[in-house]
Amino acid sequence: MSDPRPIGVFDSGVGGLTVVNQMQDILPQEDIVYFGDTARVPYGTKSKETITRFSVENVEFLMTHDVKLVIVACNTASSLGLEFLKRCFKVPIIGVIEPGAKCAVSRTRNRRIGVIGTSATIASGAYEKAIKKINPGNSVFTGSCPLFVPLVEEGWIDNPVAYTIAGIYLKNLKAKNIDTLIMGCTHYPILRRVIKDAIGPKVLLIDSAREVAKEARLVLDSCGLFNRMSTKGEHRFFVSDEPGRFIKMGEKFLKKKIKCVKRAL
């Protein structure tokens, strides 16, 4: 059987396109409806109640497109609102925390894992809980990087300001002798070069975007939801604010032209 319904993906802004980019590789036949809440980005400085409310509204919008699976591409929303979303909606919903944690635990050699994320994600302790649940023997060290999301949203991804900020943020983590670092926000892979320069060449960077795309493939398989048509999937994009900046940055993320972005909510 084949299920042609689309997969829904939402994020606070443009960062969730890192997930879409990986899904193009791992699930090329699947249609995707993407919603970026650009009018309310960033989520990482807001309360749990506000983030949960935004997340519910985002899923409600995706459900109007009859999605068969929802991916919460925002780490902050995943850490604070995922379980509530699962209780509210019947459609399968997956976040980015557990897939990233699983990958880090499987790849670390000295069992010293670092995590960077927004202030809300780090304060939630979601990654520490997920990592310790998989293997209590791992040591976890965290650091919040609240300016990384605005840097990405503004397109400041390879300039002296970004390198200076990263050096300040990652100084303490670098001193912890970690060998693995989870980029705990889907915006952060866009700053991979900057983060790598600050943390050092020997530290493995974990991109939760690719791991969640792999998780999506497993969920589709186990639930019998694959689109088994051989055609290439269609991607539709929606934002809650002016689309111009999203299109400009989105084309860099996806390495292709974005034909149309509509405003919603």
Mean pLDDT of the chain: 94
Q: Give residue-wise pLDDT tens across range 207-240.
A: 988 899 999 999 999 999 999 886 889 999 999 9
Query: pLDDT at position 208, please?
Result: 85
CATH architecture entry for 97-208: 3-Layer(aba) Sandwich (3.40)
Q: Is 156 exposed, middle or buried (0-12, 13-18, 19+ CB in 10 A)?
A: middle
Query: pLDDT at position 177, please?
Result: 96
Q: Give residue-wise pLDDT tens across range 92-119.
A: 999 999 999 999 999 999 999 999 999 9
Q: Does domain 7-96+210-263 have CATH number 3.40.50.1860?
A: yes
Sign of torsion, CA 139 78 20 16?
Answer: negative
pTM of the model: 0.91
Collapsed DSSP state (helix, strand, coil) of residue 41: coil
Q: Write out the catalytic residue numbers.
A: 74, 185
User: Are 168 and 146 spatial neighbours (Cβ–Cβ below 8 Å)?
Assistant: no
With cut-offs at 50, 70 and 90, classify the pLDDT of residue 265. Answer: confident
Query: pLDDT at position 181, please?
Result: 98
Query: pLDDT at position 44, please?
Result: 87
* Helix-then-strand count for the chain, H and E: 11, 10
Q: For the chain, where do the domains classified as CATH 3.40.50.1860 start and end? A: 7-96+210-263, 97-208
